[in-house]
Amino acid sequence: MVALQADERQLFVDTLGRLLREQYEFSKRRTYLASSDGWSRDVWAQYAGIGLLGLGIDEEHGGAGGSVSDIATAMQELGRALAVEPVLGTMIAGQALQLFGSQQQKTDLLPRLAAGELVFAVALGDAGGSGVTAELRDGAWTLSGTAACVIHAASAEQLLVAANTGTGAALFLAAAGANGVSISEYAVQDGSRASDVAFANVAGEPLGNVEETRSSCDSLHQIGAVAVCASSIGAMAAALDQTIAYTKTRRVFGKALVEFQAVRHRIADMYIAREKSMSITLAAVNALDADNGGGAGRAVSAAKVLVSKNAWFVTEQAIQLHGGIGMTEECAVGHFMRRHMVNDQLFGSPMQHLEILTRFEDLAGQGVSADMRERRRQ
């Protein structure tokens, strides 16, 4: 998939940003969380209306075009606003269908997905698997096992599952309401809903050709990983902006907080953390869009590891610089930390990604930065 043109992307970002500023004022967010869905169907319809859900999907199938970098850009805006709609799962599923689905699956599902008519939740697990196995019996696949912490599973019509077939992981579609699916929903730390999804011999439809989807699980993990990195970057950016606004106005000992050098330097460090996170995520996104195979995996893991610690730093320091008020449930500032806390554990923990990076070291590779230099030479 080809990235949007620069002016198209800018227009999209401006439109999405405006929508979120109008619809995601912090007290409105609280009402969405308190609703029975835990998110706003009205806002969801507006996302569909501006083409958000069609990002990364070709126009032939009702999409807006665009590549992983456009998905990442959108996730960053959603992270800024701390949006809680099931966008991530739906967009990842959209990528799965676009890249690996059969023609029939694409025709049946993509236009409805892009139009906001189908909510998807993804149970892809991590490098260690999803907890779900798939068995072929009499020509039909069935799924068994339990996938933990599936974001927005209870709101989804369709589930995309990475299941172990015995010879590796493959992607399957299952109807959330199918026989044998049981969903127990709870809230996670940023207020979003998630579920443990138990499968008891549930009918599963392989995505495209099951032989070919083995490497696609890795690709989707990577797309998911950069998506949550982008979301944390948005949260970091908003946390920094709020901190700058607060420290300019809060006065102690006769001066605004920003007049204290310790505070100024901390803010500078928060800026560095944010920019570094954006750079490494951009490197990963470029590697994915260039279809770089192993190189993309390394860049993605580097992004996960660096964004993890930098976003913890920014979101924690945002609380610290707000003082007591940063410790309250009511103040938005603590919620940026919570969003990152959730992102941090999706599509592989930082520790898992550090291990991946170490394995690349073991292979006497030259690392992510060498990859980037190589790519620029081409």
Partner 1 sequence: MIETGKSLDEFRGAVRRFIDENLPADIRRKLQLGFPADRDDIQRWHQILHRHGMSTPAWPEEYGGPGWTPEERSVFYEELFTAPAPEPQNFNSNMVGPLIAQFGTDEQKARFLPKIASLEYWFCLGMSEPGAGSDLASLRTAAILDGDEYIVNGQKVWTSTAHHANWVYCLVRTSSVGKKQAGITVLLIELDTPGIEIRPIISIDRRHHFNEVFFDNVRVPVANRIGLENEGWAYARYLNGRERTGIARVGLAKEKLDFARRLLEERRKTHPAPFEEHEYRKRFALLDAELAALDMTQLRSLEYEASDPLGAPVELASMLKIGGAETVQEASRLAMEIAGQAGLRIREVDEQQMASLSDEELAVSSVVNGYSLYRAVSIYGGANEIQRDIIARKLLEG
The residue ranges that bind partner 1 (CB under 8 A) are 148-149, 186-189, 194, 252-253, 260, 262-263, 316, 319-320, 323-324, 326-330, 334, 337-338, 341-342, 345-346, 349-352, 354-355, 358
Rounded CA separation 316/326 (Å): 9
Cβ at position 299, least distance to partner 1 in Å:
20
Taking a C-beta distance cutoff of 8 angstroms, is the pair 192, 216 a contact?
A: no
CB nearer partner 1, residue 29 or residue 106? 29
Q: For residue 38, give Cα distances in angstroms to 31, 151, 190, 249.
A: 9, 11, 11, 34
Minimum CB separation of residue 251 from partner 1 in Å reads: 8
Whether the Cβ atoms of residue 339 and residue 283 lie closer than 8 Å to each other: no
Local structure of residue 266 (DSSP, 8 states): H
Residue 202 CB, nearest distance to partner 1 (Å)? 22
How, if at all, do strands 193-206 and 140-151 pair?
antiparallel
| Closest distance to partner 1 from the beta carbon of 196 (Å) | 9
Specify the residue, 35 or 209, whose C-beta has the smaller distance to partner 1. 35
Least distance (Å) between residue 148 CB and partner 1: 7
The nearer residue to partner 1, 13 or 188, going by C-beta atoms, is 188
Choice between 108 and 355, CB closer to partner 1: 355
Count of CA atoms in the C-beta half-sphere (13 A) of 70: 30
Q: Pick the closer one to partner 1 by CB: 103 or 253.
A: 253
Distance in angstroms (rounded) separating the CA atoms of residues 320 and 127: 35
**Quick check: 163 and 130 in contact, CB under 8 A?**
yes
